Amino acid sequence: MLARSHISQGRVILVEHPVVILPAGVKLDASIIVLDEFESQDEPCGAQFLRLNSQVKKKVLTLKDCSATTNASTLAGIFATNALDIKLQVDGGGLRSQEQKYKALFLKTSRCNHSCGPNAVWRFDRLTFTLSLSAVRDIYPGEEITISYINPFLPRHVRRTQLQSKWNFLCHCMHCDVPWTFPGAIAQSDKARHELSTFFKKLPDWEQWCFDEESEHDLIEMHLRAMRMREKEGLEGFRGSGTAGSSRDVAYMKHIDALVMCYGAIADDKEFRKWVNKAREVKLAEGLYSTAHVNVLDMWLREPRKFYVWGWKSII
Ligand SMILES: C[S@@+](CC[C@H](N)C(=O)[O-])C[C@H]1O[C@@H](n2cnc3c(N)ncnc32)[C@H](O)[C@@H]1O
């Protein structure tokens, strides 16, 4: 999938409904060959497939089957290659509803290739039953739109093994094919990704940083360094894909919020406004806001001194 025009960071690229949904774990019969005159009533994906209108059926049949050795794709292969993991709230009997895992097939997002530094993420919203694909950084005309099929914070060799075994390809994205002229590049990238994935577990307490004069931690530098590492690894805006509200990598937003707090605490007007603006931009783009929330951010931009920890650290 290629961008035809400039897509700015945070913009929704497309919105679509699933065409087939199956409970996770349902095994499809791999022997069902995809034919235009497809017939099978007794198999779950087949049954749903038969109910699709002919235009949609044709489109499903053009999707990639990464297990096909000849031209004979199977419906099971198409589903395994393209279906995405979503969660739905289902009636668990009585008054309770419970969350269950499903696999859903989407016609357009299925066209996205993988990158270990993707420029897009998808979210599935179960209230509107829609998937939205949005840009995590600016995407330029002609550039490929990519998502991550796996957890990009894993080391390169694990990522490549997972991609090879499930999708049958060796990843040659720019983050896997790092220049061999620089011998430590892979180890450095693996280390950076690991550090990013464990960053918040090892982070010193904000209050300690703010009130302890002896604290040797430079919290601001730690967050800025993490943001630089994210950028270098192509993960600057990455926040995970999946069902909205779950499986979200909130670290990116947490770094921004922390920088707002820190610059506010040291009463650095310029940097404070810069990071409040960034928070506003990201929250608006992601729909992570209420009008009241944005009004508060706007108030801080107008009057930084009204920020609730303004100057706390500089007072000590
Ligand atoms: C969900 S499909 C993606 C769309 C597919 N390229 C198409 O033409 O419809 C997944 C398959 O695309 C190919 N693919 C995805 N990402 C790739 C990458 N980074 N490098 C090489 N092949 C990739 C692999 O064959 C994989 O099994």
With 0.90 as the threshold, say if the pTM is over it: no
End-of-domain residue from the set 105, 140, 167: 105
Average pLDDT over residues 52-63: 87
pLDDT reported for residue 238? 85
Could you read off the pLDDT of 79-114 as tens digits, one per residue?
A: 999 999 999 988 766 667 788 899 999 999 999 999
Q: How many domains does the chain have?
A: 2
The answer to whether residue 284 is domain-embedded is: yes
Q: Which residues line ligand 1 (CB under 6 A)?
A: 63-64, 66, 81-82, 110-111, 113-114, 167-169, 171-173
Query: Is the model's pLDDT at 188 over the cut of 70?
Result: yes
Tell me the CA end-to-end span of the chain in Å, nearest whole number. Answer: 54
End-of-domain residue from the set 69, 86, 105: 105
pLDDT reported for residue 130? 95
Domain residues for the domain of 208 are: 203-233+250-315
Q: What is the CA(114)–ligand 1 centre distance, in A?
A: 7
The answer to whether residue 122 is domain-embedded is: no
pLDDT reported for residue 31? 57
Instruction: Determine the residue of 66, 169, 171, 241 to mutate for testing ligand 1's pocket, defined as the one with the most ligand atoms within 8 A of the Cβ atom.
Output: 169
Query: Is the model's pLDDT at 41 over the cut of 50?
Result: no
Average pLDDT over residues 287-293: 70
What are residue 100's DSSP bridge partners? 88
The answer to whether residue 79 is domain-embedded is: yes
Average pLDDT over residues 35-58: 66
Checking ipTM against 0.90, whether it exceeds it is: yes
The answer to whether residue 149 is domain-embedded is: no
Q: What is the CA(162)–ligand 1 centre distance, in A?
A: 14
The long-range contacts involving 83-87, CB below 8 angstroms and separated by at least 24 positions, are: 83/20, 83/22, 84/109, 84/122, 84/124, 84/131, 84/241, 85/24, 85/242, 86/18, 86/21, 86/124, 86/126, 86/131, 86/242, 86/243, 87/124, 87/126, 87/242, 87/243, 87/246
Query: Is the model's pLDDT at 40 over the cut of 60?
Result: no
The answer to whether residue 74 is domain-embedded is: yes
Tell which atom from ligand 1 comes closest to the C-alpha of 168: 27
Q: What is the CA(228)–ligand 1 centre distance, in A?
A: 29
Could you read off the pLDDT of 221-272 as tens digits, one per residue?
A: 999 999 999 999 999 888 877 777 665 567 888 899 999 999 999 999 999 9
The answer to whether residue 2 is domain-embedded is: no
The answer to whether residue 69 is domain-embedded is: yes
Amino acid at 264: G
End-of-domain residue from the set 79, 105, 131: 105
By mean pLDDT, which of 12-16, 52-56, 146-150, 168-172 is the weakest? 52-56
The answer to whether residue 10 is domain-embedded is: no
pLDDT reported for residue 164? 96
d(CA 200, CA 194): 12
Q: What is the CA(201)–ligand 1 centre distance, in A?
A: 34
Tell which atom from ligand 1 comes closest to the C-alpha of 63: 9
Q: What is the CA(164)–ligand 1 centre distance, in A?
A: 11
d(CA 107, CA 26): 20
Could you read off the pLDDT of 115-156 as tens digits, one per residue?
A: 999 999 999 998 899 999 999 899 999 999 999 999 999 999
